[in-house]
Amino acid sequence: MNEVSISFRKPAHPPGTPSTPAHLPRTHLRIDGMTCGNCARHATDALQSVPGVSHASVDLAAGTAVVSWKPDATPTPASLLPPVAQAGFKGTLLDSPSRTGPAPAAPNPWKLSLTLGIPAALILIVGDWFLGLGMNRSFQFFSLALATPVVAVLGSRFFRGAWSQLRAGAANMDTLVSLGVSAAMGYSLFALLSQQPGHLFFTESVTLLTLVGIGHFLESNMSARAGNALRALLELTPPTALRLSPSDTEEHVAAELLRPADRILLKPGDRIPVDARVLEGSSAVDESLLTGESLPVDKSPGSTLFAGTTNQNGRLVASVTATGEDTALSRIAEVIRRAQSTRASVQRLADRISSIFVPIVVLIAIAAAAFWLLAPDIAAAVHAKAGSLLWHTHLPTSPVATAVLIFCAVLVIACPCAMGLATPVALMAGVNAAARRGILVRDAAVLETCGHIDTLLFDKTGTLTQGHPAVVAQDDFRTPDNRVVPLAEIAASLARPSNHPLSIALARLAPGSLQVGQWTETAGAGVQAQWWNQSVQLGSLAAATRAGVDLTPAQPFFNAWLAQGATPLVLSAGTQLWGAFALRDTLRPEARDAIQRLRQAGYQVGMLSGDHPLAAQAVAREAGIDPELVHAGVRPEGKADILRQLRATGRQVAFIGDGINDGPALAAADLGIAVARASDVAREAAGIVLLRPDLGGVADALQLAAATLRTIRQNLFWAFFYNAAAVPLAAVGLVHPALCAAAMGLSDLIVVGNALRLSRRLR
């Protein structure tokens, strides 16, 4: 199995300064007062509003947040606290964790709803609703004694949250629940002490808080399951390592104490703690949890090892190359975390609606209660008419008690948690499902963009082809007295400093020991240097033509090999033709099936290549690409121009590439997809990175995006439908507050469960 590169770009400036997301300085906070997904979203928005913040990730279950700062910003942790307070929460700065692993799992904060709320609610329900003791004075005082501590304990989170939101001039789900419970408990206490006849709401208060808490308990557990892929990644690295001293003495040390150039020993079955390079030994390494590739990868001296992968059957001695947040695993985890914390445009619509929804619901609840209090006969008639069409319910005989019941029901059933959860939980499930398949998604906007793509353009070399071309022919066009140095030696010396696949193939021709000076590489053209006081170039036919090289003597050579799909390269000195080489690559074994799958899905599939048109057309025919959609002989900036032209015609274009020269095109497309073994520049410019060496991942990514967007729309529809239908029913007295609480929790579970169904379907 070939080794797959999953490295990211190294910093272009001194170590410790940020360049990629994993190098961004971070600040860790504790955030108190969050009770639901909406709270976490508001806290995230507050943190991301601070100047200099790149992105923020809030963990609702743990009550923590991680803020990453922009590369050019000076971190000011103290500036994060005021916006958090303005959002209605309490923020506290924390020390950064000593290692990149995840924090210990926090206990579910809603567990009390099960252990305390359920027994109390059952006792009151049995006595009030089944034994008919609701009007018994002794049972009413017993209900007060039992309900008061339960409401104080279970309701404390809601009351604190509502108070914090009130001080911040905002309102959320806590506001609705707190108003409903306070109204029910306040009226019941007044009626009990003043000996007012009628129904009391101690049972409803306890039941309401219990059911809402159970809903949050299940939501918290299900949301935690949606984030399992990220946690699985973060838990891959072992806490300790076996370090070798200069005298080869073995010592167990904490993984965070390892430094670059340290030597570590890896025995069969060991999990690799850091990124490293093999010095001694050979083995097979399981990289499936990191790349999604099921087959083990052979490792030998010089091979790269990644943190979190597993050494299977050999003894390896390796030199540490990266630790902590600099490892490929940490960078991948950071990209996933960032994608989960970003907002899709469809989420912004839900956010705007939710922000005005709570005040409107409070006004509706007040208006409905006032209607039942001031016009009880008319309200009762409306209730009877609605009941004859749907179902009948029994209401208290007292207008005041009925008004309180309606007020509580409207407030509780309209909690907008489902709207707030609809998009984030689906995005989390989609991003994590992608990670399990070896597909790295940069942010939420990328998934949305995927849903609109209709045209796919592939790079040729290294993307559609194996990226390992070999020299199949060469010809020397120098004069006989100018052939002292072998042609292959000159070409190998020029090509050796380059990482381009064609250069690597040429470098294998000869030792390449010639001393060259002023070496430069031009993307899409080739390399040039000074040798024996003359400028020597090695590059494409187009570059040689632009340089004024007369290619007439080599034209038969070029024509013969171009017809066979080979790529020609020219070696020249100034304008003098010295030699020609023909290199041929082979198509990836899965390329034809992948392209057929995309075409069957309705996408237009084409190719962009800097190669000669004949060579490009030969590969296109083999891959099953329409020849009319092949653009060949295109320079890197020309690729970007073609993509812009297609976009100008209304096409939604994705570009799939892997090389340095693909960076402009990846950035210019609506969507950039970098394949396995992609260059660092390509990875940084792409919206999606395929960690597996399989072009089928392109279709998987697009399928994943379509399924995720479909789930988001389903969630939003059901969330809006639920609130639109439930509020009028509660206002006319057809839904009891306890059933409202159960319905609110059920709506949250439907939204989260639908997202988890997406995650399971995409495994």
Q: Is residue 22, in this structure, part of any structural domain at all? A: no
Asked if residue 517 and residue 481 are part of one domain, the reply reads yes
What ranges make up the beta strands (E) of 407-522? 439-441, 455-459, 470-476, 517-522
CA distance 115 to 122: 12
Q: Is residue 193, in this structure, part of any structural domain at all? A: no
Asked if residue 574 and residue 487 are part of one domain, the reply reads yes
Percent of the chain with pLDDT over 90: 23
For position 668, what pLDDT does the model report? 82
Q: Output the domain CATH number for residue 302.
A: 2.70.150.10
Q: How far is CA 528 from the centre of its chain?
A: 41
Q: Is residue 593, in this structure, part of any structural domain at all? A: yes
CA distance 16 to 328: 16
CA distance 74 to 262: 32
Each residue's pLDDT tens digit, 488-521: 999 999 999 988 888 989 999 999 889 999 999 9
The catalytic position among 174, 270, 459, 611 is: 459
Asked if residue 462 and residue 543 are part of one domain, the reply reads no
For 49, other C-beta atoms within 10 Å of its C-beta total 13
Asked if residue 501 and residue 474 are part of one domain, the reply reads yes
Residues 6+ apart with CB under 8 A from 514: 485, 489, 490, 493, 531
Domain range for 520:
470-584
For position 11, what pLDDT does the model report? 36
Last residue of a domain, one of 277, 303, 323: 323
283 close to 312: Cβ distance less than 8 angstroms: yes
For position 570, what pLDDT does the model report? 96
Q: What angle do CA 563, 569, 571 make, to 5 degrees?
A: 140
Q: Is residue 518, in this structure, part of any structural domain at all? A: yes
Q: Is residue 617, in this structure, part of any structural domain at all? A: yes
Q: Is residue 354, in this structure, part of any structural domain at all? A: no
Three-state secondary-structure class, residue 599: helix
Asked if residue 563 and residue 616 are part of one domain, the reply reads no
Last residue of a domain, one of 562, 584, 606: 584
Number of domains in the chain: 3
For 717, other C-beta atoms within 10 Å of its C-beta total 11
Least confident of 54-58, 106-110, 499-503: 106-110
459 catalytic? Reply is: yes
Q: Output the domain CATH number for residue 625.
A: 3.40.50.1000
Asked if residue 263 and residue 286 are part of one domain, the reply reads yes
For 211, other C-beta atoms within 10 Å of its C-beta total 25
DSSP string of 104-134, one letter each residue: PPPPPTTTHIIIIIHHHHHHHHIIIIIS--T
CA distance 443 to 388: 50
Q: Is residue 641, in this structure, part of any structural domain at all? A: yes
pLDDT at 200 over 50: yes
Asked if residue 593 and residue 501 are part of one domain, the reply reads no
DSSP string of 544-591, one letter each residue: HHHTT---GGGHHHHHHHHTTTPEEEEEEETTEEEEEEEEE--B-TTH
Each residue's pLDDT tens digit, 378-396: 999 998 898 888 888 888 8
Strand partners, 58: 65
- Between the alpha carbon of residue 415 and those of residues 263, 358, 402, 477, 748, the distances in Å are 57, 8, 21, 80, 10
Asked if residue 601 and residue 460 are part of one domain, the reply reads yes
Asked if residue 507 and residue 452 are part of one domain, the reply reads no
Asked if residue 552 and residue 505 are part of one domain, the reply reads yes
Q: pTM for the complete prediction?
A: 0.59
Q: Is residue 219, in this structure, part of any structural domain at all? A: no
Question: Which secondary-structure segment (H or E) carries 55?
Answer: strand 53-59
For position 20, what pLDDT does the model report? 39
Q: Name the DSSP letter for residue 271.
A: B
Last residue of a domain, one of 663, 691, 719: 691
What ranges make up the beta strands (E) of 60-210? 64-69, 90-94
Burial class (CB in 10 A: 0-12, 13-18, 19+), 313: exposed
Percent of the chain with pLDDT over 70: 82
Least confident of 446-460, 520-534, 668-682: 668-682
CA distance 251 to 30: 36
Each residue's pLDDT tens digit, 239-289: 889 999 888 888 989 888 899 999 999 998 898 999 999 999 998 888 766
Q: Output the domain CATH number for residue 506.
A: 3.40.1110.10
Asked if residue 580 and residue 476 are part of one domain, the reply reads yes
Asked if residue 558 and residue 474 are part of one domain, the reply reads yes
